[in-house]
Chain A
Amino acid sequence: MKNLLNFFIEIGKLKRMPRRGWVINDIKNPESIAEHIFRASLMAWVLGSKKSGLKTERLLKMALIHDLCEVYAGDTTPYDSVLPKNPKDRKKFMKTWPRLSSAQKLKLSKKKHEKEEKSLDRLLENLPFNLRKEIKSLWMDYENGLTAEGRFFKQADRLENFLQATEYWKKYKKPPQGPWWEWACEFFDDPLSLEVIEELAKQFHKKFKPKA
């Protein structure tokens, strides 16, 4: 029980860790990583139940564990490696989506994965063997899209992120919407996710008329 309690204490840190994407955009009282996990889990469950054949239990467990690695690895954003230090330059830079070379993309992706895996292993090291293996394999599935649940949850996770970005934009006029829509149109490919972003466009951008 001692090891389980320590695990619960460690993951509790996520309740107080603000999401970095909002911090670099100077959002007041930004949501925590745990708050993101909460809505991502509900979105995965509710949206996942509209698709046939997905295992809800696997989806929900994946949602709950997908960002546990951030307890020690912290939260990263695609801007991190290229973000100017000067606040003025930074603000200007964040108006566009960062375009990196293929080599840079590969390097950053590998580095992020390794850092997060190391952090997750550290978090799980004193847990019972079966629990440790289950969490690790769910995380690998999420990372690599190995099953239908893994692939769908990746979309649901980013939908939550996109919704939050749009809500902040509506309230604070930041983060800029341009890079988010640019990214979204390259990222989302699941028909249900595409339906969600179409609805998001209708509700938050009233003047927008989608092309038939």
Chain B
Amino acid sequence: MKENIIIIGGGIAGLEAAGQLIRLGYNPIIIEKEDHLGGHVADWNCLFPDMSSAEELVSKLIKNAAEANIFTNTEILFINRLKDNYNVMLSNGISIIARVVLFATGFKLFEAAKKEEYGYGIYDKVITNRDLEHWFNTGDDSRIDTDEMEAIGFVHCVGSRDEKAKNPQCSKVCCITAVKQAIEMKQKFPQARIYCFYMDLRMFGKKYEDFYISAQRDYGIRFIRGRVSEVSENIDGKVIVKAEDTLAGKPVKVTLDLLVLMSGMVCNPDSTKVAGMVALPADTDGFLKSRDNIADITSSPKDGIFYAGACTGPKTIPETLAEARTAALNIHTYLQ
């Protein structure tokens, strides 16, 4: 009989690890609290840097993990440490015993309404990066008026690099996501002026810098270095954004038809809760603590418990998938 491996989280990390573990001859069991697989990526439309389809990626991962046992709409009630095993009790009444538990619990998107000065949930024309992707996917958002789109703004680092919001970490992917979404909006509304308000642009990944140059050169996206200080609404329902143009050394003001907040990645409280059941420590940034942040990021300090993906910190999709494969291989060698 094939050995059970419990995977907590059915996002891309959990799915990729499951696919690899199936090929290595194990029986992965995915536990997902939502009603669908694919996690945050399932909410996205196109992925940088090649504008490939998020849906295709997720369905490919689901196909590769088809032989896994998958429980959606299921939460974990408790985890017991037995002698060499873990006993995991699920909310659907099933309990599973396995030697290995893989945490692929991911991140949570920062709640943009917490940054009250940006007016999310207060002003009608302020949306988040996820809302925009939802609109790309469905075309359904009453806040986006396609007939009136003269100026659009993107605010980088919303809830990231923000000690006051209790998230000092950089979320890594928002810079490039903002550039991607700015290009997509320019393609949809060629006459619109598009502004990105940034502190630094962190274009670290493959082809990110090309993407940034293309946004400037080919699409005329205007980058303004300065964090948006406040947003207000005018009588026409448009939003007025105030910032400091730190390169010019002058305050800047602009009226926009749509403002998109780039909500960052913060640690997932559900992940912390489940980790607490087996007394896994949190790192100083609040994400789960690996045995070693350089050499052994997919191992927890406890035998038999492994990590993959954004549960240990903000990650890009290729990084997450690579970690999922690493974790699968580490589990395989651990069990030999």
Do A and B assemble together? Answer: no
- Residues in chain A within 8 A of chain B (CB atoms): none
